[in-house]
C-alpha cells in the first residue's frame, strides 16, 4: 500500500500545493486498487500527474468543506466530456448530503450526479474497495466529518499495513480510536499553539503529536497546514509530544507502507 500526496495545503490552495487530496494505492493479484481521499481546490489538475482519473476505483470524502470537495466538479467534467468519455459512474463515498453538495457544485440540478454513484459513509461501517478495507470513524469538526482507517496489503508483500487519515478534526475519542496502532498516521495540523485558541475544529502540531503518542502509531505525517502557517513550527510542536518519526506532507511525495 502506498500514499501519494496530491495536495496537502490546509483550508485553501497555496503557492506550492493544491488543497487536500491523497491517492492511496495497493497492488494485489496483479491488480492495482486506487482510491482518492478528498478532492480539494486545484487537486484535479495535480492528480493528472499521478493517475488517470478513470482508473480510480472510488473517491472518499472526509467531509463536505470546500477545501476538500470543490474539484469534484472538475472530475465530473472529465468523466463526462474528457478523453474516452463518457466513463462509467465513479463510486463516491461521503457524509450525508454529498448528493446535494454535488448538484450545488456542478450547477446543473440532477445532471450534477451523472458522473458519480454516491454512497453515504457511516461511522464504523467498513467499506471494501478492491484490496483496501476502509473503516470510517466520526470525528470532531463543525460539520459531520470522518477519519478513515485503511488496511491493505504491504508494499513489500509481507502481510497487511494500516494507514489512517484524520480528515479535519480536533482531538476526540473517534480519531484516537481510528489511529490506534497505525503504521502511518496522516494527521491534519492546521492550527498553531498560542495563535489558534478556538477548539472543536482542528489539531495543532502538538495535539497531532499527542494523538500519535496516545494511539501508539509507527510514524506521523503532518498535513493540511495553511500557507500562512510555518511547517517547521508545526513539526517542532509535534515533536514535543511524539518521539517517533515526524514528516510534513509535500505534494508528489510517496510513502510506502
* Sign for the pseudo-dihedral over CA of 95, 223, 131, 153: negative
Supply the minimum distance, in Å, between the C-beta of residue 65 and Zn ion.
3
78/93 with CB nearer Zn ion: 93
65/161 with CB nearer Zn ion: 65
Question: Using CA atoms, how far apart are residues 84 and 64, in angstroms rounded to an integer?
Answer: 29
Supply the minimum distance, in Å, between the C-beta of residue 171 and Zn ion.
15
Cell numbers 495535539 correspond to what residue?
Answer: 207
Residue 65 binding Zn ion, by CB under 5 A = yes
Supply the minimum distance, in Å, between the C-beta of residue 188 and Zn ion.
9
C-alpha neighbours within 13 Å on the C-beta side of residue 222: 33
Supply the minimum distance, in Å, between the C-beta of residue 165 and Zn ion.
13
DSSP assignment letter at 87: P
Residue 101 binding Zn ion, by CB under 5 A = no
**Count of residues interacting with Zn ion (CB under 5 A):** 2
- Which H helix or E strand runs over 221? strand 220-223
24/145 with CB nearer Zn ion: 145
Residue 168 binding Zn ion, by CB under 5 A = yes
Pair 192, 207: CB distance under 8 Å? no
Residues of the shown chain interacting with Zn ion in the complex, contacts defined by CB under 5 A = 65, 168
Amino acid at each position: 500500500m502506498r500514499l501519494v500526496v496530491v495536495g496537502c495545503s490546509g483550508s485553501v490552495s497555496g503557492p506550492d500545493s493544491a488543497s487536500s487530496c491523497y491517492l492511496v494505492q495497493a497492488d494485489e493479484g496483479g491488480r492495482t486498487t486506487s482510491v482518492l481521499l478528498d478532492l480539494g481546490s486545484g487537486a484535479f489538475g495535480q492528480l493528472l500527474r499521478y493517475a488517470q482519473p478513470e482508473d480510480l476505483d472510488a473517491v472518499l470524502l472526509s467531509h463536505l468543506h470546500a477545501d476538500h470537495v470543490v474539484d469534484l466538479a472538475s472530475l465530473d467534467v472529465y468523466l463526462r466530456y474528457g478523453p474516452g468519455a463518457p466513463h462509467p459512474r465513479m463510486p463516491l463515498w461521503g457524509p450525508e448530503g454529498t448528493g446535494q453538495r454535488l448538484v450545488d457544485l456542478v450547477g446543473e440540478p440532477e445532471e450534477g450526479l451523472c458522473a458519480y454513484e454516491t454512497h453515504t459513509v457511516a461511522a464504523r461501517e467498513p467499506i471494501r474497495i478492491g484490496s483496501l478495507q476502509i473503516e470510517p470513524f466520526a470525528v470532531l469538526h463543525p460539520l459531520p466529518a470522518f477519519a478513515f482507517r485503511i488496511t491493505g496489503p504491504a508494499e513489500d508483500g509481507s502481510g497487511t499495513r494500516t494507514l489512517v487519515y484524520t480528515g479535519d478534526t480536533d482531538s476526540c475519542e473517534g480519531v484516537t480510536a481510528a489511529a490506534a496502532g497505525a503504521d502511518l498516521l496522516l494527521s491534519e495540523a492546521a492550527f498553531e499553539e498560542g495563535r489558534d485558541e478556538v477548539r472543536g475544529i482542528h489539531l495543532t502540531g502538538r495535539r497531532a503529536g499527542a494523538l500519535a503518542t496516545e494511539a501508539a502509531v509507527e510514524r506521523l505525517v503532518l498535513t493540511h497546514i495553511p500557507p500562512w502557517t510555518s511547517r517547521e513550527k508545526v513539526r517542532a510542536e509535534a515533536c514535543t509530544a511524539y518521539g517517533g518519526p515526524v514528516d510534513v506532507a509535500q505534494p508528489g511525495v510517496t510513502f510506502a507502507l
